[in-house]
Amino acid sequence: MTNKIKRICSVCIRGGSQGVPRKNSTFIAGKPLFAHSIDQAKKSGLFEVIAVSSDDPELLSLAREWGADLVIKRPDELATNTSGKLTAIQHCVQAVEKELNCQFKTCVDLDATSPLRLPKDIIGAVWFHENLASHNDNVNVITGCPARRSPYFNQVELLPNSKVKLSKPPKKNVLRRQDAPKVFDMNASIYVWTRKSLLNAQGGVLNDQTYIYEMPEERSIDIDTPFDLKIVQHLLETNPT
């Protein structure tokens, strides 16, 4: 008999990184970068299982030391520079289900490179999703913050003749950014699915059943560059989560 378990949290980390080499194992505020996500998941009190997926044996060993309930070896073909995040999460959840002979109701992924979130952000996103899922089991939720730039007002695209045009011309002139349609930056922090919506997803995390849970800008920095890393390191060391 397959056991029914309410929630899993995955943290999917690669050994390689193009923007910041070995960033997932970089120590920030006294612990490896990814360990902040494990700690936040534990503090939320939501999860029966917290699993770390990686292609890197060193990272898997570190994950055990820093509190992961399970570690999952990711196949090399799901850990290249061109591999999508979605397939890694799907693999992790299915591997844990197989190991524990269970099925999860809610599947949550915390991106290790967005460690400024707080446990209350995780709780809010999961509760928001589960309320939606009580009416539609095919929904998923991503997190984001209000965008500083708007494609309707001050984001432009480069044309072949080196001129530029507004990225998304509005139906009527917008004289102030505040009057443009509201847009968000995806902050790559928290992703929430029902089991059905996760395993049926293809191509990416966005579809016509995707909702957004808003987080503040100060907790929405995703580490893509050495400059991002310096900012996050300063914020975590002065205001630990």
Rg (the chain; Cα; Å): 19
115: how many CB neighbours lie within 10 A of its CB?
A: 27
CB 222 within 8 Å of CB 187: yes
Torsion of CA 116, 113, 72, 38, to 10 degrees: -10
Q: Residue 233 above 70 pLDDT?
A: yes
Q: Please tell me the predicted confidence (pLDDT) of residue 172.
A: 80
Q: Tens of pLDDT along 131-188?
A: 999 999 999 999 999 998 989 888 999 999 889 998 998 888 877 777 788 899 999 9
- What is the SS3 assignment for 160-190? CCCCEEECCCCCCCCCCHHHCCCCEEEEEEE
- Mean pLDDT confidence for 40-63: 96
d(CA 65, CA 59): 10
pTM score: 0.92
d(CA 55, CA 53): 7
Residues 6+ apart with CB under 8 A from 127: none
Query: Nearest-CA neighbor of 95 among 34, 60, 150, 52?
Result: 52
Strands in 30-83 per DSSP E:
31-32, 49-54, 70-73
Query: Nearest-CA neighbor of 145 among 106, 117, 176?
Result: 117
Name all domains of the chain by residue range, CATH numbers in brackets. 3-147+183-238 (3.90.550.10)
2-6, 100-104, 145-149, 197-201 — which is least confidently predicted?
Answer: 2-6
d(CA 59, CA 6): 27
- 3-state DSSP call for residue 92? helix
